[in-house]
Amino acid sequence: MDEFDAIVVGAGPAGCAAAYIMAKAGLNILVLERGQYAGAKNMWGGAFFGPVMEDLFPNFWQEAPVERYVHRHVISFLTKEDSLSVDYRSSHYASYPKRGFITLRAKFDRWMAQKVEEAGAIVATGLCVDDLILEDNIIKGVRVGDEAFYSNMVVISEGVNSLLIKKIGLRKEHLPCDMKQGVKEVIRLSKETMEERFNLEGAEGVAMEFVGDCTQGLPGGGFLYTNRDSVSLGIVVQLNALLEKKIKASELLERFKSHPVIRGFIRNGETVEYSAHLIPVAGMKMIPPVYADGILVTGDAAALVLGTGLILEGANFAMASGIAAGKAVVRAHEKKDFSRNCLSSYMDELKDQFVLKDLETFENAPGFLENDRIYRTYPEWACGLARTIFQNDGTPRSRTFKVMRDSMKGKFSMWQLLSDAVKARKSI
C-alpha cells in the first residue's frame, strides 16, 4: 500500500507551489498529473505578474524558462478597421522579476515540476485521478484506475472543471454566465522579426489587451503576448454569450487574426500550438468551500482568478493559493490534525495575502463587465471620435467638447455614460 503525507492532484502553478512548500518542509509528497508532462494540459495567456515567483524561487529568472519581461502594457479599442490604444511603458520595469514576465506553460510547468522533484517530492505524469478514498466520511487518499494511493491530506489543484470536489459536494455545477472560454494560438516568428515589429530590445516584451471587434462585441477581449520567437494570441469570451449567439470561440479567433492591426503583427508567422480553456470569472461569489476534513482546494478549482477588464490574472493567484495550502498542510502535519478546524488556517492565510483582498476589492467587477456598451458601443464611439478629431476634411473645426457630444448622438446618452462611469468607479 502506497502512503504519503499528502497527495497533490494537478501539476500546474498551484499544485507545484503547494508540493514544493510541503516537500521543502520534509513531507513525503506525491503529485499526480494527468498530462503526459506538467503543462501538457494547461492553457495560459502567458503573462505572470507580481513577486510570488520570486518569493518561492529566489532568483528564478536565472534558470526558469522566461521568454521576456513585460516592459509595456497596451490596451486597445478595436472596430473593424480602426484601433485606439493606451500604451504604457516604464523604465521601472527593468526589475522584471517583481513586475511581470512572459512564459509558455509547456516549458514553465515542466521547470516547476522539476524544482518540486528536486525538493524531494514524486511527480507522476500520465495518471488521471478517478476518485477520492473516503473512510468514515474523511478523505484518506485517491484512486487512479484500480490503484489506491493513501495519504493524510489531498490538495486539489486540477483546474476549473474539478470533478473530485464536485463528487464530495464542495461545488455545484458551473453556470455559463460565470465562465469565460479562452482560446489561444502560439504563432512562431523569428526573434529579429519580433524585435522589429514590436520595437523590442534584449529581453523586453509586450502585454497587449484588446476590447471590441476582436469578440464581435461579445463580453470578453483579446490578448497578445510577445515570447522570445513567437506570439501568444488569443481571445477570452463569456461562455453564455457564445452559447446564446451560437458562435464558436475558435471562429472569433480566426476573425481576430485577420484584423488589420493583428494581421500586421503575425504576418508570415506559423501556428505551432493551439489550446482552449474555461476560466472562472465570477469572483467571490464563485469560490467554493476550499477546505474540509483532509482536503484543500487551490487555483482555478477554487475559482481564484481576478478579472477587472483592465487586468486578467490567474497564475499568480493560483501559485499564491498553492503556497498558502502548502503551509496549512505543514501546520496540520506538525499537529497531527487534518480536521476541517485545523485546516481552516488555509483560509486565514489567503485572507492575509493579496488573493482574497484583491477579489474582495473587485467583487463588483464581474457584474459591471456584463455591460454590452463596453464591448461594442464605446469602442466604436472612441475610435470614431479619434477619427473625427485627427482628420482634416477641409471644413471648419468645432471645439473638442462639441465634437464629443455630437459623436454620442444615436449611440448613448450622457446619463448612460455618467452611470457607467459611476459603476466603473465602484467596480474597477
Q: Is the CB of residue 299 less than 8 Å from the CB of residue 15?
A: yes
* SS3 assignment, position 295: strand
What's the rounded Cα separation, in Å, for the pair 308 and 324?
Answer: 24
Q: Tell me the one-letter amino acid at 209.
A: E
Please, where in the chain does CATH 3.30.9.90 lie? 177-280
3 state SS of 217: coil
Please state which of the ranges 75-89, 302-316, 323-337, 357-371 shows the lowest mean pLDDT: 302-316
Other Cβ atoms closer than 10 A to 213: 25
Every domain of the chain with CATH number 3.50.50.60 lies at 2-65+104-173+284-352
The answer regarding whether domain 2-65+104-173+284-352 maps to CATH 3.20.20.10 reads no
Place of cell 521543502: 24
pLDDT of 394 > 60? The answer is yes
Distance CA 114, CA 151 (A): 22
pTM of full prediction above 0.85: yes
Residue 383, CA distances (Å) to 265, 327, 418 in order: 20, 49, 19
Instruction: Flag whether pLDDT at 97 surpasses 70.
Output: no
Q: What is the largest CA-CA distance in the chain?
A: 86
Please tell me the CATH code under which domain 177-280 is placed: 3.30.9.90
Q: What is the pLDDT of residues 119-144, one digit of tens each?
A: 999 999 999 999 999 888 788 999 99
Residue range 251-287, pLDDT digits in tens:
999 999 999 999 999 999 999 999 888 889 888 888 9
Residue 90 has pLDDT above 80, yes or no: no
Phi, psi of 418 (to 5 degrees): -65, -40
- Of 169 and 65, the one with more pLDDT: 65
- The type of residue at 9 is V
Confidence grade of residue 383 (pLDDT, cut at 50, 70, 90): very high
For residue 96, is pLDDT > 70? no
Percent of the chain with pLDDT over 90: 63
Q: What percent of the chain has pLDDT over 70?
A: 98
Residue 199's contacts (CB-CB under 8 Å, 6 or more residues apart) are none
Average pLDDT, the chain: 90
